[in-house]
Amino acid sequence: GSDLRMANLRNASLDGANLSNANLEGADLRDTSLKNANLAEANLEGADLREANLTEANLTGAILQAADLRGADVWQAEFYDTNLNKAQIEGVNIWHTKRSRADLWRIWDEPD
């Protein structure tokens, strides 16, 4: 996959992008549209995804440890076997996501 560590992709339109296995550790993805994007097995550890559009994105097996997802749109996103350990999800509605076997241990949902 692509190496996009610490990349500034703020406000980018990446709808339908194939970023499977990409290394996006620490990337700035605020307000980025990733609708229908394939992020399977991607490393998004510590990424800033505030207000990102992840509608129907495939995050199967992705690492979102310590990622900031506050305010992100995750409608029908796939979180199968996804590591969300210590992710910040304040204001994120995960009810309509697919999250079988997702690691939701110690998710932060309190404000800073």
Question: Closest Cα partner for 83 from 51, 44, 48?
Answer: 44
Integer Cα distance of 103 and 80 in angstroms: 9
Tell me whether residue 100 is exposed, middle or buried, using C-beta atoms within 10 angstroms of its C-beta: 0 to 12, 13 to 18, 19 or more: exposed
Q: CA dist 23 to 32, 49, 60, 68, 78, Å?
A: 16, 14, 15, 16, 18
Asked if residues 87 and 106 have their Cβ atoms less than 8 Å apart, the reply is: no
Q: How much is the pTM?
A: 0.84
Report pLDDT for 81.
Answer: 87
Q: What pLDDT, in 10s, does the model give residues 19-63?
A: 999 999 999 999 999 999 999 999 999 999 999 999 999 999 999
pLDDT in tens, 5-23: 999 999 999 999 999 999 9
Ordered structural domains, the chain, with CATH: 1-103 (2.160.20.80)
